[in-house]
Amino acid sequence: MSETVFMKGNEAMAEAVIRAGCRFYFGYPITPQNEVPAYMARRLPETGGTFIQAESELAAINMVFGAAVAGARAMTSSSSPGISLKQEGISYLAACELPSVIANVMRGGPGLGNISPSQSDYWQSTRGGGHGDYRTIVLAPHTVTEMVELTMDAFDLADLYRNPVLVLSDGLLGQMMEKVIFPDPEARKKDGLLRGRPLPPKDWALTGAQGRAPRFIRSLIMKQGALEEHNFKLAEKYARIEVEEPLAESLACENADIMLIGFGTSARVAKQAQLMLAEHGIKAGLFRPITLWPFPSEQLATLARKVDRFLVIEMNTGQMIEDVKLVIARERSLKEVRVELLPRPGGGVPFPEEIVARAREVLK
Amino acid sequence: MKPTMVFSRTPGLKDVVTSYCPGCGHGVAHRLMAEVLVEMNALGRTIAVAPVGCAVYGYDYWNFDTTEAAHGRTPAVATAIKRVLPDRLVISYQGDGDLASIGMAEIIHAANRGERITVIFINNANYGMTGGQMAPTTLAGQVTTTTPEGRDVSQTGYPMRIAELLATLPGVKFSARGALHKPGLVRKAKSLIQKAFAIQDAGTGFSIVEFVSLCPTNWGVNTLQAVEMVEKDMLKTFPLGIFKDEQVGGKD
Ligand SMILES: Cc1ncc(C[n+]2csc(CCOP(=O)(O)OP(=O)(O)O)c2C)c(N)n1
């Protein structure tokens, strides 16, 4: 049964982790995600689970690695500077094909930046982030309810593809309180991103070799040509994910005067701007990627055929806009259409009025 | 007379040739670890974490479940495996670069939390796999590729005594240093591993066995000279002994 409560984003996400059947959480304090480890420290022991406050993000992500090696659902959360430290571990998780969930409650960067909401880790998240040729699935919620749903889905997709999955939110979603609907976990397996697909057995996990040949998990692959083969095998998996998993929300994009494009918090604000533009008699569509990788290219490409003006709203200096332009350029000449940016880096959050004003400018 | 078998390959190791150089200590340590596991009938419930270092191919040699870990993160990986599967025997096998340099935070904190894991620590006074650079355990005056004039402790610090250091932490229940270069010491080394594994199975806390090991290739000497170097130089800086033994039943 689903359940409706009033809850803070970070705590709701933490509760979703538990409802997804994850019993192993490893974290390190960093604002604006501190509610996650605090919630886990209280709730996980009640469920027979394990919470460890790790000595660093490096240790935390490698604990996730260890728990995944042993076949358990495991997750860690952090915010931007801490996620940078986790990149080594994420690369190893991808290399070893270990299911794992990492939540990034983004804050302003680069460097220590600030603790305000930001979307400045789009590139890092969607391009791998660590060293080597790999991909992580990236899910970007724009409400607390969606943060709950996508967090639950993240564990399923991680298990389905044996791959790390990132839940990419920001300080605003993490810190805000709003009405949250917790779906029934079983129902979510059908209605959510898993779409009822069966999860493969973890017949690769290390559990002790009793009654079978010893197993090993490794990412050092030195035999001539073997790593190349492994890279191609991973690439095949990523190609399958690119076909199966892209997801976006689109609202009134057909024949719109202008298409507003944003993810997460930016899209949330853009939804308000969309209504305000309608009051001005402007038909604004809204396109919101939910999976940032795989980027919902086909969906955007189809819609882009009949729209001439695009406004990308991002809480950074313009990162996703590169993917947007790549897709639109497939369908249209960038000389005949306009793809413009409304950037708010460094902890800035756009106001709906700002988006309205910029959209009207782009339409001139 | 019917011949009797007095010595054979241990089923704890795979029947393969290792990549170790002549005189290297890793193979001896592997064998001891494997023998103890066989005697404990524990091969089927052992999960080992191999380090980044010369023992990175552990899974090619060890006849039990093994995962690699990123350089130095070995104890963090072992921590979580043990937390997920508390009745398994979990081994973190590490070199001195892995444990005492890049992985210092992970080892100290796993030890301080009293994680119920056993660390087998191979101290060969240098970074073997990358070709013989200075390690935190490199002796004063020792020549390595990155201390070409010999280790100058006023610039690079002093050799770190890990077994003694970790023994100070309450979460650590067993900490000892053995050696691998003489038959008598090898037998003693085995008993240290037995004790450490027993502590882990008792579930009281963290256990570590440090081995003063040999690396003739990177030390630039032959195997006999390496044995001499351990005897003459290394044991002065790294005395053998049990620095902590809180095994039920007390000290040996
Ligand atoms: C993050 C990272 N830094 C550096 C290396 C390169 N590297 C591989 S093995 C090694 C040193 C291993 O030395 P030690 O731990 O003493 O083990 P040994 O090879 O002597 O057994 C280093 C620095 C690496 N693989 N990863």
pLDDT tens for the 252 residues of chain B, in order: 789 999 899 999 999 999 999 999 999 999 999 999 999 999 999 999 999 999 999 999 999 999 999 999 999 999 999 999 999 999 999 999 999 999 999 999 999 999 999 999 999 999 999 999 999 999 999 999 999 999 999 999 999 999 999 999 999 999 999 999 999 999 999 999 999 999 999 999 999 999 999 999 999 999 999 999 999 999 999 999 999 999 765 444
* Residue A103, in any domain of the structure: yes
Name the residue ranges covered by the structural domains of chain B. 26-245
State whether A188 and A266 are in the same domain: no
Q: How far is B55 from chain A (nearest CA, A)?
A: 12
State whether A81 and A192 are in the same domain: yes
CATH number at residue A287: 3.40.50.920
Q: Do B67 and A210 touch (CB under 8 A)?
A: no
Q: Report CA B108 to chain centroid distance, whole Å.
A: 15
Question: If you average pLDDT over residues A273-287, what whole number do you get?
Answer: 98
Q: Which residues are CB-contacts of A150 (< 8 A; sequence separation ≥ 6)? A: A139, A140, A141, A167, A193, A290
* Residue A304, in any domain of the structure: yes
State whether A201 and A254 are in the same domain: no
Tell the residue number behind the tokens 């309205």, with chain if given.
A356
Give the pLDDT score at B252.
45
Of A52, A56, A216, the CB nearest to B105: A56
State the Cα torsion A346-A352-A357-A362 to the nearest 10°: 80
Q: Do A208 and B47 touch (CB under 8 A)?
A: yes
CA distance A235 to A88: 19
For residue A12, which of A29, A36, A32 has the smallest C-alpha distance?
A36
Pick the last residue of a domain from A196, A222, A243. Answer: A243
Counts of helices then strands in chain A (DSSP H, E): 13, 15
CB of residue B128 inside a 6 A radius of ligand 1: yes
CA distance A355 to A286: 12
Q: Report CA A195 to chain centroid distance, whole Å.
A: 18
Q: How far is A24 from chain B (nearest CA, A)?
A: 8
Of A62, A209, A211, the CB nearest to B70: A62
Q: Do B79 and A66 touch (CB under 8 A)?
A: yes
CB of residue B196 inside a 6 A radius of ligand 1: no
ipTM of this complex prediction, to 2 decimal places: 0.96
Q: Do A70 and B68 touch (CB under 8 A)?
A: no
CATH number at residue A79: 3.40.50.970
Q: How far is B54 from chain A (nearest CA, A)?
A: 12
State whether A190 and A257 are in the same domain: no
Q: How many domains does chain A have?
A: 2
Give me ligand 1 centre to Cα B56, in Å: 9
Q: How far is B97 from chain A (nearest CA, A)?
A: 17
Pick the last residue of a domain from A193, A226, A243. Answer: A243
Question: If you average pLDDT over residues A200-229, what whole number do you get?
Answer: 97
Contacts of A69 in chain B (CB under 8 A): 47, 67, 77, 80-81
Model pLDDT for residues A86-144, shown as the tens digit of each residue: 999 999 999 999 999 999 999 999 999 999 999 999 999 999 899 999 999 999 999 99
Model pLDDT for residues A87-101, shown as the tens digit of each residue: 999 999 999 999 999
Reduced to 3 DSSP states, what percent helix, strand and coil does chain A have, rounded to the nearest 5? 40, 20, 35
* Residue A218, in any domain of the structure: no
* Residue A211, in any domain of the structure: no
Q: How far is B189 from chain A (nearest CA, A)?
A: 25
* Residue A264, in any domain of the structure: yes
Would you tell me the crossing angle of helices A9-19 and A144-161 to the nearest 10 degrees? 40
Q: Whole domain around residue A239: which residue ranges?
A: 3-206+234-243
Model pLDDT for residues A329-359, shown as the tens digit of each residue: 999 998 999 999 999 999 999 999 999 999 9
State whether A202 and A254 are in the same domain: no
Pick the last residue of a domain from A195, A216, A243. Answer: A243
Q: Do B83 and A67 touch (CB under 8 A)?
A: yes
Which stretch of DSSP H or E encloses residue B107? Answer: helix B104-112
Question: If you average pLDDT over residues A279-307, what whole number do you get?
Answer: 97
Contacts of A209 in chain B (CB under 8 A): 43-44, 46, 63-65
Q: State the closest ligand 1 atom to the C-alpha of B129, by its place in the atom list counted from 1.
A: 19
Tell the residue number behind the tokens 């050696």, with chain if given.
B179
State whether A118 and A186 are in the same domain: yes
Give the pLDDT score at B247.
77
3-state class (DSSP) for residue A328: helix
Beta-bridge partner residues of B67: A217, B49
Q: What pTM did the predictor assign?
A: 0.97
Q: What's phi and psi for A251, nearest 5 deg?
A: -125, 115
Model pLDDT for residues A158-189, shown as the tens digit of each residue: 999 999 999 999 999 999 999 999 999 999 99
Of A54, A88, A214, the CB nearest to B70: A88
How many other β-carbons are positioned within 10 Å of the β-carbon of residue A231? 15
Of A26, A69, A72, the CB nearest to B67: A69
CB of residue B95 inside a 6 A radius of ligand 1: yes
CB of residue B48 inside a 6 A radius of ligand 1: no
* Residue A10, in any domain of the structure: yes
State whether A239 and A252 are in the same domain: no
Q: Does residue A274 have a pLDDT over 80?
A: yes
Task: For ligand 1, pick from B18, B24, B52, B57 the residue to mutate: most ligand atoms within 8 Å of CB.
Answer: B52
E strand intervals along chain A: 3-8, 24-27, 50-53, 74-78, 100-106, 137-139, 164-170, 177-182, 216-217, 248-251, 258-261, 284-289, 291-293, 309-314, 338-343
CB of residue B55 inside a 6 A radius of ligand 1: yes
Residues 85-104 of A with CB under 8 A from B: 88-89, 92, 96
Q: Do B105 and A52 touch (CB under 8 A)?
A: no
CA angle A116, A122, A123 (to 5 degrees): 130
State whether A286 and A328 are in the same domain: yes
The answer, for A24 touching chain B at a CB cutoff of 8 Å, is yes
Looking at domain B26-245, its CATH architecture is: 3-Layer(aba) Sandwich (3.40)
Q: From atom 13 of ligand 1, which residue's Cα is the shortest distance away?
A: B127
Q: Which amino acid is at A230?
A: H
State whether A44 and A134 are in the same domain: yes
Strands A258-261 and A309-314: parallel
State whether A290 and A201 are in the same domain: no
Q: State the closest ligand 1 atom to the C-alpha of B124, by its place in the atom list counted from 1.
A: 20
Strands B89-95 and B46-50: parallel
Give the pLDDT score at B249.
54
Give the pLDDT score at B248.
62
Q: Which residues are CB-contacts of A146 (< 8 A; sequence separation ≥ 6)? A: A290
State whether A24 and A163 are in the same domain: yes
State whether A268 and A159 are in the same domain: no
Of B70, B79, B88, the CB nearest to A89: B70
